[in-house]
Structures are given as structure tokens and as C-alpha cells.
Amino acid sequence: MRSTPTFQYEQKFWKNGLVYIAGADEVGKGAFAGPVVAACVILPADKSFLSLEKINDSKLLSAKQREELDLVIKANAVCYNIATIEIDVINEKGIGIATDMALYEAVMGLPALAQHILVDAFYIKNIPQILQTPIIKGDQKSYSIAAASIIAKVYRDKLMTELDKEYGKYQFGKHKGYGTLTHRKLIKQFGLSPIHRTSFNLQKFL
């Protein structure tokens, strides 16, 4: 059963006087093409903004819902930051390192210093573990992580839609680079594009 995000994790720190509690998440890690994107968001401790109950794991929302919430989150967050790691880095260093780099840059680029970071699933390297709380399926449990997943997803989807203009035959605007059946057929038909992840074993689809 899927859970619904709450502020239960954030409240543990708010009660101890820490107010800048950040949520961090990534999107695009499993995609066959395009960048990996991470976002970090600090929501207000007074929780004084609308549509809070609609915030959830970005994968469980429609594109329209994500776009609406993206505006609400950005308008009401204490601050947020988005980081993108491009395909050349992914192919050179691998998706694991690239994803960690995206999360690190998202956190470190915040306009305000996070006092603690709630992160989906894994610790972020090069940030002291004492300053982090990894939460399995965190985007379904923490409003802050869910908010990060939403703005990262909206941002990456827009990037992939722009890339679709350059590589239209791959239909990136529809599948956003993920390994759908249609995408796999297009890879077989046209081969790999410059934005496909050669660090992935995509040769089996050719």
C-alpha cells in the first residue's frame, strides 16, 4: 500500500528548533536518454500555503497536477534549487556517480543553508551523514521530498520536450527518454542519438 506524504519527519527537527529542513530527490536516473536532474526544497515550517494535501510522489501525479504544484511549491518554498548533470558526464562517470553529483549540487546550491536534509533512499556523498536522513520511498512519505520530486520532474520533462525539437524522430517529448516499448522500437529503427546513454546496455535494443 502506498503511503501519503506528511510532515512527520520534518516535525522531529522543527520541534528541536531547526527550521531549514530540506527535501532532496532526483528524476531521470533510469531513463535511457537525457540528463539526470535533482532538486532540493526547503518548505516553510509554518506550513502556510495552499494545495499542500495535493503534494505527492511526482510519479503518482498527472502532468497537469505536477505543473500546477510546481508553481505553488516555488512560490511558497523558503527556497529551492535544481541541478542537472548532462549526458556526457553520465556516459563518462556512470549514472550512479552522476545522480549523486546532481543531488549534491542541488543541496549545495540552495540560497539558504539547510540545517538537515531528508533525501529519498540514499545518503548523498560528500555531505556529512549526520546532516542527512535517507528515507526509503521518501517521495511518498515526506512533503519536502515529494515537493523536490515534483519540481525536478517538471524541469526535466521540459528539457526533454526541448530536446524533442532537435531529435524529433525519437519522440522524447512523449516518453521523456524512458525505456518504453515505443522508445525501444525507435532505438532499433534509428540507432542511438547523441543524447542516449552509452553507459547503459542499450545495444541489446538495436
Tell me whether residue 1 is in a domain.
Answer: no
Tell me whether residue 3 is in a domain.
Answer: no
Neighbours of 11 (CB within 10 A): 13
Cα 103 to the chain's mean position, in Å?
A: 9
Tell me whether residue 100 is in a domain.
Answer: yes
Q: What's the CATH code of the domain at 127?
A: 3.30.420.10
114 half-sphere exposure, CB direction, 13 A CA radius: 31
Structural domain tally of the chain? 1
Query: Residue 33 gets which letter from DSSP?
Result: B
Domain of residue 160 covers: 8-205
Per-residue pLDDT of the chain (206 residues; tens, 9 = 90+): 567 899 999 999 999 999 999 999 999 999 999 999 999 999 999 876 656 778 899 999 999 999 999 999 999 999 999 999 999 999 999 999 999 999 999 999 999 999 999 999 999 999 999 999 999 999 999 999 999 999 999 999 999 999 999 999 999 999 999 999 999 999 999 999 999 999 999 999 88
Alpha helices in the chain (DSSP H): 8-14, 63-76, 87-93, 95-108, 143-166, 172-175, 181-190
pTM: 0.95
Tell me whether residue 192 is in a domain.
Answer: yes
Distance, CA of 37 to CA of 93 (rounded, Å): 15
SS3 100: helix
Tell me whether residue 161 is in a domain.
Answer: yes
Query: Residue 31 carries which side chain, given as an amino acid letter?
Result: A
Tell me whether residue 185 is in a domain.
Answer: yes
* Torsion of Cα atoms, 82 then 74 then 22 then 86, to 10°: -10
**Cα–Cα distances in Å, from 131 out to 80, 109, 115, 140, 173?**
18, 16, 7, 21, 37
Tell me whether residue 138 is in a domain.
Answer: yes
pLDDT at 206: 85
